[in-house]
Amino acid sequence: MKSEKLQIKNKNWRRVKLGEIAEIIDGDRGVHYPSSGELFRNGYCLFLNTKNVPGIDFDFSEVQFITKEKDDLLRSGKMQRGDFVLTTRGTVGNIAYYGEEIPYKHVRINSGMVILRPKREIIEEKFFYLFLISQEFKRQIEVIRSGSAQPQLPIRDLKLFEIKLPPIDKQKKIIQILFPIIDKIK
């Protein structure tokens, strides 16, 4: 049996900014941001905190919720299936994917996170995931993050992160080869 080799040739690949391939959505930090007294053990909308995003996946061992009424008051920061969450304050650079397998229908991020919504006509979700877990992404975080007492990853800088992007057909081929291996590791 002949093994397939992954050969990455940079022909037709282009260097693009993260802000070109994904919408970066900040959470609502306005007057309606939930106080600790408005967070519950059960409820309508899961309200994520950094403990829920400890690495490259979600951890739902400790969850908190807000009511539908509070959810309706908040303007931004609501996740859609296919979104990624990225921690941007304190522990920066942790990610998780909000796919169909996540049991919560309504999910919002807290003020220490952003939503990354890939532009699917430009980048495949799984290829975007490969970028987010790459050493190249981690290196860019280390260069950009600011703050000594509490590290931060400002959105204005995050938009400028660079990714080497192949055409969609090449992205699909890379995914086809790498994801069976990644799934076995998980």
pLDDT at 186: 64
Angle formed at CA 91 by CA 84 and CA 138, multiple of 5 degrees: 65
pLDDT at 90: 87
In whole angstroms, give the CA distance from residue 24 to residue 22: 6
The CATH topology of domain 14-185 is Adenine-n6-DNA-methyltransferase TaqI; Chain A, domain 2 (3.90.220)
Of 73, 94, 93, 96, the closest CA to residue 83 belongs to: 96
Residue with tokens 């076995």: 184
Beta bridge partners of 114: 26, 86
- DSSP code of 146? B
Quick check: 8 pLDDT over 70? no
Q: Is 79 left (phi over 0), alpha (psi -120 to 50) or beta?
A: beta
pTM of the model: 0.89
Sheet holding 45-47, edge to edge: 65-66, 45-47, 107-108
Output the CA torsion 134→9→178→129 (10° steps).
Answer: 40
What would the mean pLDDT of 41-69 be, rounded to a whole number? Answer: 97
Stretch (H or E) spanning 116: strand 113-118
In whole angstroms, give the CA distance from residue 133 to residue 50: 17
> Residue 9: which pLDDT band, with cuts at 50, 70 and 90?
low
What would the mean pLDDT of 164-169 be, rounded to a whole number? Answer: 96
Domain residue limits, the chain: 14-185
Quick check: 4 pLDDT over 70? no
Tokens of 5: 């080799």
